[in-house]
């Protein structure tokens, strides 16, 4: 029996789904610092996050939500080898790609988070980094190494992959994974008195203040360094050469050591305080606690002479109002990271401030590792490790350590003739892996999801049961008021909680696509019946009247007056759902696009017309055919993009063959947006997002998602050019459907929901839901506050605990 669930994503930072501004994450500024005499010391370009354009805005509690605070790319979701492979039976392979560069592949058959959902997990290590994917398990279909690599876009080899049997390979692969970054963190904490303008002055503060000590107590526990057995962050725990005490905490499985300036060794003779700078100056992230009023000269990153520190968090404490104010400076090459600061960035709840600050600092350090400086170092190290490991293994090619036994022969069962020998080898393999895992845990380098500190909170994607007993398979759906209009094999039904379903259309109208446009009093749907497929339009008010009159579900013959005639044979359609006041529908009939608009689509105009003469039950006469556009092939994905002027710059994004194109609605001219370099392409979606009013597209296919900005150009053409805001990432599983609900992207597979951030593609959560199916998604505007919406995502699933 099926269940319908809904998941509400709370209000966004913009006012529409897919409409956002990077200004929420700060703007890049040239910052110049000068000494007491006014002479310029240094200058640098930093992205400044202040939450408000007004530096002296009244300090009221910030308008942020607890649900916005997420660790990005959390290690317990991203460190696959440690979590799913190490200490478990799995296979490892070595090979050379077409460019003769070595690579390693690890594959395991695992139960997805103990949900009784078997699936293959694969990690591919190359000099450019690691790639991770999940593949569905089928008891009747074998999986080869070649097919796994093909799913990772690796189809050509200089040398075919061979299996590595030696159990010690697990240690080497664990080292490769650890190159992704540390599980634990060290952050600098610098105390600055009011009026101090140079790093020499700040580092020379021998002791802090009462407010500074209160802040340190909020950050963590004061520990004695001598004999300390936990994460030490480079501090001396034997001879007190780096101070006697420090501040330490654990946050969501991460050990954090703070390098506190007033706790590090102080020298009266050394004005530069080299010992203090040696630690804090080599921290990627530094907190600057600045005393004084808001009107006092503010801290600037250029005051600190460090080529290594990329992020500064400026903290001020308002003793009168007992709140903290936060400002973030990030070197301009650091990618965007969350959470965005509230407006104004003032926190009255101290525990919430601590939670926000630690997440921001952890995410900031991870983002810094993606800057060119750190990324190049990591790639060089990874390349060196892979080549070294490859060289070490080559002499054993003829010693039975490596051979060409196929992957499908190993999992899930070994050949019967060699079962005992294989079982002994696997037992030793697992024993060594478990020992390595235990050693990592004891050492404190193990990724963990345990929240030793931090506030428990309800996540915005937690499901709520909407209908617990639905007997039909859902084809598509769309919310209508508080109910759900669902197309099934038994017809189209109106489902409302656990009330009996109400038939709206019978099974003679097989609906494959639908849009409920409540503000326009319209239902648009595509009924697919071979060559007789058509688009139909209905007034919601007329349908509602029929339901109230207890009429039986409409048949196809009852809907003859609702057909849009020129749409015969259509296999796909798209409507604009974002900015434009004019409803536009584009219908795909093989390789032909038909542009349709509504003549009278404004609610006010409909209302005034209805006062003069009653509207006909069918709205067909209100639609007009604008033009036809011919494509080179039949589209499988189609999205409408609103231009900034709503005149002649609207676009249609289409996907076919191995490419995404954008088509100018006015001229029909097509422009190449992206070419897919893969043997097989499964197009998933093209999602239109709007950054400060400018159109962009999230192109999703196979495991990939790419963000591209699209700009109007001369003569009605469109320019697709690389932008600083462009990014791409890979989903862990190939999605069947994707929904944008700012600030999140939700990808749905048959067994999971993967949640990432729109602005950078970073992973925040993976939810395992067996037999998952996305049915509908809808932005619902709050009538009183237009900057709020709730995205209701309904799906059918078989788990009884949701």
Sketch the domain layout of the chain as residue ranges: 23-53+184-369, 77-180+422-447, 474-599+617-786
- Nearest in space to 642 (alpha carbons), one of 564, 580, 568: 580
Report the sign of the C-alpha dihedral through residues 257, 263, 265, 268, in that order: positive
Q: Which residues of the chain have pLDDT under 50?
A: 1, 9-18, 53-64, 400-412, 450-455, 579, 601, 603-613, 780-802
**Distance in angstroms (rounded) separating the CA atoms of residues 524 and 547:** 18
Which of 236-243's residues contact partners 24+ apart within 8 Å by CB, and which partners? 241/265, 242/275, 242/279
H or E element, residue 492: strand 491-495
Predicted pLDDT of residue 562: 94
Q: Do the domains spanning 77-180+422-447 and 474-599+617-786 agree at the CATH topology level? A: no
What are the phi and psi torsion angles at 258 (to 5°)? -100, 130
Both tokens of 240, joined, read 């007190």
Model's pTM, two decimal places?
A: 0.84
- Answer whether CATH 3.30.565.10 is correct for domain 23-53+184-369: no
192 contact partners, CB below 8 Å, separation of at least 6: 201, 202, 205, 288, 289, 290, 291, 299
Our CA dihedral for 544, 559, 528, 485, rounded to 10 degrees, sits at: 10
Question: Residue 268, Cα to own-chain centre: how many angstroms?
Answer: 49
Report the sign of the C-alpha dihedral through residues 306, 307, 308, 312, in that order: positive
CATH for 77-180+422-447 is 3.30.1120.160
Predicted pLDDT of residue 800: 30
Return the residue matching tokens 């703070």. Answer: 258
Angle, helices 210-219/350-368, rounded to nearest 10 degrees:
70
**Backbone region of residue 229 per phi and psi (left: phi > 0; alpha: psi in -120 to 50; beta: other values):** alpha
- Nearest in space to 343 (alpha carbons), one of 721, 789, 25, 16: 25
**Distance in angstroms (rounded) separating the CA atoms of residues 406 and 410:** 7
Predicted pLDDT of residue 786: 26
**Distance in angstroms (rounded) separating the CA atoms of residues 166 and 15:** 56
Burial of 36 (0-12, 13-18, 19+ CB in 10 A): exposed
Both tokens of 452, joined, read 């030793």
**Distance in angstroms (rounded) separating the CA atoms of residues 367 and 363:** 6
670 contact partners, CB below 8 Å, separation of at least 6: 631, 632, 661, 662, 663, 664
Predicted pLDDT of residue 251: 92
Our CA dihedral for 22, 23, 26, 29, rounded to 10 degrees, sits at: 110
**Distance in angstroms (rounded) separating the CA atoms of residues 647 and 226:** 71
Pairing of strands 502-505, 491-495: antiparallel
DSSP string, 494-547: EE-TTSPPEEEE-TTS-EEEEEEEGGGTEEEEEE--GGG-EEEEEEHHHHHHHH
Q: Which residues pair with 587 in a beta bridge?
A: 573, 594
Length of the chain, in residues? 802
- Nearest in space to 45 (alpha carbons), one of 760, 558, 724: 724
**Distance in angstroms (rounded) separating the CA atoms of residues 16 and 132:** 32
Domain covering 474-599+617-786: architecture: 7 Propeller (2.130)
Which of 405-410's residues contact partners 24+ apart within 8 Å by CB, and which partners? 405/163, 406/144, 406/145, 407/91, 407/93, 407/107, 407/143, 407/144, 407/145, 407/148, 407/163, 408/142, 408/143, 408/144, 410/91, 410/163
**Distance in angstroms (rounded) separating the CA atoms of residues 119 and 116:** 10
Return the residue matching tokens 């990030």. Answer: 330
Q: Which residues pair with 767 in a beta bridge?
A: 753
């Amino acid at each position: 029996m099926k269940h319908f669930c809904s998941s509400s994503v709370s209000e966004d930072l913009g006012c529409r789904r897919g409409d956002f501004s990077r200004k929420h994450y700060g703007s890049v500024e040239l910052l110049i610092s000068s000494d007491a005499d006014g002479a310029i010391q240094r200058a640098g370009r930093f992205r400044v996050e202040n939450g408000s354009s007004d530096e002296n805005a009244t300090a009221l509690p910030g308008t942020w939500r607890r649900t916005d605070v997420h660790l990005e790319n959390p290690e317990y979701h991203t460190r696959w080898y440690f979590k799913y492979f190490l200490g478990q039976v799995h296979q490892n392979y070595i090979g050379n790609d077409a460019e003769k560069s070595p690579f390693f592949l690890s594959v395991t058959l695992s139960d997805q988070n103990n949900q009784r959902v078997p699936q293959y997990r694969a990690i591919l290590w190359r000099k450019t980094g690691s790639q991770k994917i999940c593949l569905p398990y089928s008891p009747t279909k074998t999986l080869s190494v070649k097919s796994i690599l093909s799913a990772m876009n690796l189809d050509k080899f200089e040398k075919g992959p061979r299996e590595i049997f030696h159990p010690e390979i697990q240690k080497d692969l664990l080292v490769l994974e650890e190159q992704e970054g540390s599980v634990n963190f060290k952050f600098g904490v610098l105390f600055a008195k009011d009026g101090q303008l140079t790093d020499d002055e700040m580092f020379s503060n021998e002791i802090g203040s009462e407010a500074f000590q209160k802040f340190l107590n909020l950050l963590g526990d004061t520990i004695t360094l001598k004999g300390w057995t936990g994460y030490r962050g480079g501090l001396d725990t034997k001879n007190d050469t780096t101070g006697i005490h420090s501040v330490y905490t654990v946050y969501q499985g991460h050990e954090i050591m703070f390098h506190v300036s007033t706790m590090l060794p102080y020298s009266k003779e050394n004005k530069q305080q080299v010992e203090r700078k040696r630690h804090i100056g080599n921290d990627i992230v530094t907190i600057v606690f600045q005393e004084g009023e808001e009107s006092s000269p503010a801290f600037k990153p250029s005051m600190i002479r460090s080529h290594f520190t990329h992020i500064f968090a400026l903290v001020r404490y308002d003793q009168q109002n007992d709140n903290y104010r936060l400002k973030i400076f990030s070197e301009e090459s650091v990618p965007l990271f969350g959470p965005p600061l509230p407006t104004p960035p003032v926190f009255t709840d101290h525990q919430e401030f601590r939670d926000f600050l630690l997440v921001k600092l952890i995410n900031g350090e991870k983002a810094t590792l993606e800057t060119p400086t750190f990324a190049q170092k990591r790639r060089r190290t990874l390349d060196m490790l892979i080549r070294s490991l490859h060289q070490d293994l080559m002499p054993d090619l003829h010693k039975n350590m490596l051979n060409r036994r196929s992957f499908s022969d190993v999992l899930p069962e070994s050949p019967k003739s060699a079962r005992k020998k294989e079982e002994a080898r696997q037992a030793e393999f697992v024993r060594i892996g478990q020992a390595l895992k235990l050693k990592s845990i004891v050492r404190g380098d193990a990724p963990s999801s345990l929240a030793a500190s931090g506030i428990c909170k309800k996540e915005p994607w937690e499901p709520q049961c909407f209908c617990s007993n639905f007997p039909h398979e859902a084809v598509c759906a769309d919310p209508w008021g508080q109910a759900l209009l669902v197309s099934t094999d038994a017809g189209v039904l109106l489902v409302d909680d656990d009330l009996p379903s109400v038939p709206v259309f019978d099974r003679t109208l097989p609906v494959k696509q639908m849009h409920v446009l409540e503000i326009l009093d319209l239902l648009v749907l595509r009924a697919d019946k071979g060559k007789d497929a058509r688009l139909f339009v209905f007034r919601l008010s007329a349908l509602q009247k029929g339901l109230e009159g207890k009429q039986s579900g409409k048949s196809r013959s009852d809907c003859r007056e609702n057909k849009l005639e020129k749409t015969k044979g259509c296999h796909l359609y798209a409507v604009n759902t974002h900015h434009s006041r004019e409803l536009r529908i584009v219908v795909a009939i093989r390789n032909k696009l038909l542009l349709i608009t509504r003549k009278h689509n404004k609610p006010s105009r409909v209302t005034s017309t209805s006062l003069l003469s009653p509207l006909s039950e069918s709205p067909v006469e209100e639609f007009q055919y604008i033009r036809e556009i011919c494509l080179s092939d039949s589209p499988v994905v189609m999205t409408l993009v609103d231009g900034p002027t709503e005149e002649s710059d609207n676009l249609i994004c289409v996907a076919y063959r191995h490419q995404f194109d954008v088509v100018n609605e006015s001229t029909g001219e097509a422009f190449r947006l992206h070419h897919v370099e893969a043997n097989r392409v499964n197009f998933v979606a093209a999602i239109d997002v709007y950054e400060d009013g400018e159109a962009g597209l999230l192109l999703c296919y196979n495991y990939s998602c790419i963000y591209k900005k699209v700009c109007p150009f001369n003569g009605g053409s469109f320019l697709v050019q690389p932008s600083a805001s462009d990014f791409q990432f890979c989903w862990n599983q190939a999605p069947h459907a994707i929904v944008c609900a700012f600030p999140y992207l939700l990808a749905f597979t048959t067994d999971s929901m993967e949640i990432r951030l729109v602005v950078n593609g970073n992973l925040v959560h993976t939810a395992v839901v067996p037999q998952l199916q996305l049915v509908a998604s809808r932005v619902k505007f709050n009538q009183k506050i237009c900057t709020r919406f709730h995205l209701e995502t309904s799906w059918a699933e078989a788990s009884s605990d949701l």
